[in-house]
Amino acid sequence: MRKPDLSFWQIWNMSFGFFGIQIGFALQGANVSRIFQSLGASVDSLPILWIAGPVTGLLVQPLVGHFSDRTWTWLGRRRPYFLAGAVLTVAALIVMPLAPYLWVAALSLWVLDASINISMEPFRAVVGDLLPARQRTAGFALQSVFIGAGALLASMAPWVLSNVFGVSNTAPPGVVPDAVRLSFFIGAAALFAAIGWTVLTTREYSPEQMAAFDGEEGAGGAVQAADILAWPPARYARAGLVFAAAGVLVNALVYGLDADKQFYVLGGALVFLGIAFFVNSHLVRAGRTANFFSAILADLVAMPKMMRRLAVVQFFSWAGFFVMWIYTTPAVTAHAFGAADPASDAYNAGANWVGVMFAVYNGVAAVYGLFLPRLARLFGRRLLHALNLAAGGLGLASVAVLTGPWLLLLSMVGVGMAWASVLSLPYALLIDALPPKKLGVYMGIFNFFITLPQIMVSGTMGPVARAFLGNDPVKVMVLGGSFLVLAALAVAWVRPPGRAGMTETPGHGGGTQGGQIG
């Protein structure tokens, strides 16, 4: 039994919640460094303060995916998580700009990221749940349109409130400006309204209907529930020892060489992973695998080859974007506005301009996302993704030479093309290779390769910038651009079954048929 095509407005309704989710992410991306610096954080401490995002994503998304795959309530399968995440996110958005101390703002960021992740992961999985394979590229592309639109409005909010409505853009040391605070409050209301719209207007298929549809999803059947024993106990134990030993070695080198303490983050992550594998070896040996912990690790080691290769692309893509989110504010305020004091008018004008720059790249992403389904049919999804990533890398690197505020907007055009692509094409490539009953958990595991590079950047970029880049945020932005170029090159390694090279047969770009989106 084949899934029916959904209408444009049905896909619109199921995707509209991403408009709200991205309002939350954009307010965070454009303003959190500013909030931290307003509360006394130094530039080189920003990466470690930002570590909340990737760590919460690493922990929350696989758990939400695992449990949402197994959920069915009167509200549906994924929608309970949409709603719960929205409520928690609204609370965090209200508290964060009111933080009186740096540690309160940092704690609020942890809550904000965890809450957004609770809503976001099921939005990815619901595309696979509700759309037939031929409409999935269009589904993810429409999500990228809403992501771009939401982020554009949220990124512009402090600038508009300050320059159009006269809301104060400066504040005494240790206080967040009113323009930023009001932006967060308005964003909280918009986020809840958008996600609420999707919850009220979208209907999910019942478990019985999903079971009847499973025959359509042929390629993803390679990973079955029997793969819970994908590795024997000894192999889990060996992997655990290797990861734990590597983590201990990293931490010992940090201690012995008196290296930057932020490197302990990497060592600690490796030790944690090693312990997880070692514990699971005992659970598998004892036959106690009927738990979420063993199930997630078994799914992790049984990843389809397509997913493993896309993971490399995702790793470098998100490393580049995370560098941009952390360092654009200090780069632009220092080099384009000549300001380093967070309490100064020049610094706050520069910080507001970063919001405008982020609005531009998100606006480009929103418009460009409308054309991705047709371009994917024309060029093939992989070649198109590689070209978009390369454009983003050149855009980030151009910050070093385009130092005027208005010229910096040109840098954001390529970034916007890459952003639209990263939010849609990897998922469209991946989802056809996944088992339908495990879409949630595999979308969560795929998020590992978004969060791990962010942990790497958070734990190492501060010391790397001090040791090799003169602590110059512009040079760090160029390094971020090189990460996106590496991601573009890695796309050549991603080859769907039965295909070769960087192009796909015309008509296999994942667009829609029958007058639907695209």
Mean per-residue pLDDT, 2-29: 90
Highest mean pLDDT: which range of 144-158, 309-323, 331-345: 309-323
- What local confidence, expressed as pLDDT, does residue 23 receive? 92
Mean per-residue pLDDT, 213-223: 50
Highest mean pLDDT: which range of 80-84, 204-208, 228-232, 364-368: 80-84
What b/e readout covers 74-106, taking b as 16+ CB neighbours within 10 angstroms? Answer: eebbbbbbbbebbebbbebbbbbbebeebeebb
Burial class (CB in 10 A: 0-12, 13-18, 19+), 171: middle
Higher pLDDT, 347 or 184: 184
Mean per-residue pLDDT, 173-197: 92
Whether pLDDT at 249 is above 90: yes
Sign (positive/negative) of CA torsion 213, 218, 222, 226?
A: positive
Higher pLDDT, 216 or 404: 404
Backbone phi, psi, residue 81, to 5°: -75, -35
What is the 3 state secondary structure string of 157-205? Answer: HHHHHHHCCCCCCCCCCCCCCHHHHHHHHHHHHHHHHHHHHHHHHCCCC
- Tell me which of 35-44, 219-228, 350-359 is least confident: 219-228
Alpha carbon distance 411, 477 (integer Å): 11
Confidence band, pLDDT 50/70/90 cuts, at residue 496: low
The two tokens of residue 323 are 């560098």
**Which DSSP string corresponds to 364-402?**
HHHHHHHHHHHHHHHH-HHHHHHHHHHHHHHHHHGGGT-
Arithmetic mean of pLDDT over the chain: 84
- What local confidence, expressed as pLDDT, does residue 304 receive? 83
pLDDT, tens digit, for every residue of 108-119?
A: 888 898 898 888
Confidence band, pLDDT 50/70/90 cuts, at residue 422: very high
Mean per-residue pLDDT, 131-159: 85
Global pTM value: 0.75
Whether pLDDT at 209 is above 60: yes
Mean per-residue pLDDT, 55-67: 80
- What local confidence, expressed as pLDDT, does residue 214 receive? 60
Please choose, from the candidates 341, 370, 363, 350, the residue with its C-alpha nearest in 3D space to the C-alpha of residue 173.
341
Beta bridge partners of 167: none
Whether pLDDT at 227 is above 70: no
